[in-house]
């Protein structure tokens, strides 16, 4: 049975509909001091339970709700607990970059482990390599082909697929499998103290081409804004910003459009105004044992 958490009500219900399984509603309210109240409105004893809860901002609040739901399922003797966390927060704090720094992702997994979680399904985690170090089995699905198919359907078959950061070249490659217009990536360097990102000018053959820039996350929008500007400066025709997790903090959406992007397209991994591509079929397939 599927338990749609307060942060992913729509997505949770969509997944349950596709799997044709029962949902257990969560009675949720916030106490006057801001703490979360959670109650399952149904019996989960001896059930294989799937809790769907994304952890985009406000991530700390959504994480606490996730811990409470998982631990509650354990207390109520669920047979197994699978978490669907499309956006897994703290994925970018995946090592100690500076001495004394917290390895927050490790802490997060240890807490979920203590809550009795058996399996986690996530989508385009920032660093798939650290998932292998997790005590809990984590399936990392990719929604890039779904984003690429959206553009293909809109008539942008043959567009150039661009990704950001050398380690993310596989993102552009996956998109190119659908769009078949060639691919490349722009190197990025983030200053660990200021958080500012710099992009390296590359020789990209994008002049007079439609370009789709794919990234796993748009957070402050700083990286995408620079990428759009650079691509436009190289003479690209139409430029689209596509991402799996459109966190779109502050006025990043306006900033990206102002920099010259024709559209921002995201998935429903996190609630946002640009989430036009649903990952529900991808997750339902994985849960049914067909997609992983
Ligand atoms: C970086 O490695 C990621 O793939 C994204 O490019 C980055 O997290 C986006 O962050 P922001 O929108 O704040 O530049």
Residues 196 and 150 in one domain: yes
Nearest CA to ligand 1 atom 10: 219
- Give 66-124 pLDDT, tens digit per residue: 999 999 999 999 999 999 999 999 988 888 888 999 999 999 999 999 999 999 999 99
Q: What is the pLDDT of residue 202?
A: 72
Domain-embedded: residue 234:
yes
Whether residues 207 and 285 fall in one domain: no
Give, for ligand 1, the residue of 144, 197, 214 to mutate: max count of ligand atoms closer than 8 Å to Cβ.
Answer: 197
Boundaries of domain holding 251: 144-268
- Does 274 have pLDDT greater than 60? yes
Residues 30 and 80 in one domain: yes
Ligand 1 centroid to residue 190 C-alpha, Å:
9
- In this structure, is residue 274 part of a structural domain? no
Q: How far apart are CA 282 and CA 149, in angstroms?
A: 13
> Does the CA dihedral 45-140-219-144 come out positive or negative?
negative
Flag whether pLDDT at 197 surpasses 90: no
User: Within this chain, do residues 119 and 38 fall inside the same structural domain, yes or no?
Assistant: yes
pLDDT tens-digit series, residues 200-257: 877 788 999 999 999 999 999 999 999 999 999 999 999 999 999 999 999 999 999 9
Structural domain contains residue 179: yes
Q: What is the mean pLDDT of residues 280-290?
A: 94
62: preceding bond cis by omega (within 30 degrees)? no
Quote the CA–CA distance of 161 and 211 in Å, as a whole number.
Answer: 6
For residue 82, is it within any domain? yes
| Ligand 1 centroid – CA 221 distance (Å) | 7
Q: DSSP strand E in 44-147: where?
A: 48-52, 80-84, 119-123, 137-141
DSSP-derived 3-state class of residue 131: helix
Q: pTM to 2 decimals?
A: 0.93
Q: Ligand 1: which of 57, 167, 216 to mutate, judged by most atoms within 8 Å of the beta carbon?
A: 216
Secondary structure (DSSP) of 204-269: ---TTS-EEEEEEEESSSHHHHHHHHHHHHTT-SSEEEEEEEE---TTHHHHHHHTT-SEEEEETT
The residue count of the chain comes to: 292
Same domain membership, residue 156 and residue 84: no
273 occurs within a structural domain: no
| pLDDT given at position 290 | 65
Nearest atom of ligand 1 to the alpha carbon of 218: 12
Residue 59 CA, ligand 1 centroid: distance in Å: 16
Please tell me whether residues 150 and 260 are part of one structural domain. yes
Q: β-strands 188-190, 197-199: how paired? A: antiparallel
3-state secondary structure of 46: coil
Name the residue among 139, 138, 142 with its Cα closest to residue 124: 142
Percent helix, strand, coil in the chain, to 5, is 30, 25, 45
Domain CATH number, residue 28: 3.40.50.2020
Measure the CA–CA gap between 49 and 100, rounded to whole angstroms: 38
pLDDT in tens, 126-140: 888 888 888 899 999
- For ligand 1, the distance from its centroid to the CA atom of residue 166, given in whole angstroms, is 13
Q: State the distance from the centre of ligand 1 to the C-alpha of 137, rounded, in angstroms.
A: 25
User: Rounded distance, CA 3 to CA 23, Å?
Assistant: 6
Q: Is the pLDDT of residue 292 over 70?
A: no
| Burial class, 243, CB count within 10 angstroms (exposed 0-12 / middle 13-18 / buried 19+) | buried
- Please give all residues whose beta carbon lies within 6 A of any atom in ligand 1, as ranges: 164-165, 197, 215-224
**Average of pLDDT values for 46-70?**
98
Q: Tokens 């759009």 identify what position? A: 228
Mean per-residue pLDDT for 20-39? 97
Measure the CA–CA gap between 149 and 151, rounded to whole angstroms. 5
Residues 107 and 158 in one domain: no
Does residue 227 sit within a domain? yes
Q: Identify whether residues 193 and 170 lie together within a single domain.
A: yes
Taking the C-alpha atoms of residue 114 and residue 111, their distance in angstroms, rounded to an integer, is 5
When divided into structural domains, the chain yields a total of 2
Residues 131 and 224 in one domain: no
For 144-193, the pLDDT digits (tens) are 999 999 999 999 999 999 999 888 899 999 999 999 999 999 988 888 78
Structural domain contains residue 153 = yes
Which of the listed residues 167, 220, 223, 230 should we mutate to test ligand 1's pocket, taking the one with most ligand atoms within 8 A of CB? 223
If you measure from the C-alpha of residue 113 to the centroid of ligand 1, how many angstroms do you get, rounded to a whole number? Answer: 28
């Amino acid at each position: 049975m599927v338990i749609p958490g307060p942060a992913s009500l729509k997505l949770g219900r969509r997944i349950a509909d596709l799997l044709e399984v029962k949902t257990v509603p969560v009675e949720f309210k916030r106490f006057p001091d801001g703490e979360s109240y959670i109650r399952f409105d149904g019996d989960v004893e001896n059930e294989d339970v799937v809790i769907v809860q994304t952890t985009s901002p406000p991530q700390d609040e959504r994480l606490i709700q996730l811990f409470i739901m998982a631990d509650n399922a354990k207390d109520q003797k669920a047979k197994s607990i699978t978490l669907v966390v499309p956006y897994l927060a703290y994925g970018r704090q995946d090592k100690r970059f500076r001495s004394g720094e917290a390895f927050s992702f490790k802490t997060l997994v240890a807490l979920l482990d203590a809550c009795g979680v058996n399996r986690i399904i996530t989508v385009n985690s920032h660093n798939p390599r650290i998932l292998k170090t997790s005590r809990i089995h984590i399936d990392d699905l990719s929604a890039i082909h779904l984003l690429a198919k959206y553009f293909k359907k809109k008539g942008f078959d043959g567009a150039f697929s661009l990704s950001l950061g050398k380690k993310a070249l596989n993102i552009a490659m996956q998109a190119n499998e659908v769009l078949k217009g060639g691919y490349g990536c722009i190197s990025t360097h983030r200053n660990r103290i200021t958080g500012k990102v710099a992009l390296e000018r590359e020789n990209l053959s994008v002049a007079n081409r439609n370009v789709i820039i794919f990234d796993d996350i748009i957070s402050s929008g700083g990286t995408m804004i620079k990428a759009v500007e650079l691509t436009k400066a190289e003479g690209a025709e139409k430029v689209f910003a596509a991402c799996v997790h459109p966190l779109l903090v502050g006025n990043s959406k306006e900033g990206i459009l102002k920099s010259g992007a024709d559209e921002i397209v995201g998935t429903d991994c996190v609630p946002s105004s640009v989430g036009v591509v649903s990952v529900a079929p991808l997750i339902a397939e994985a849960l049914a044992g067909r997609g992983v």
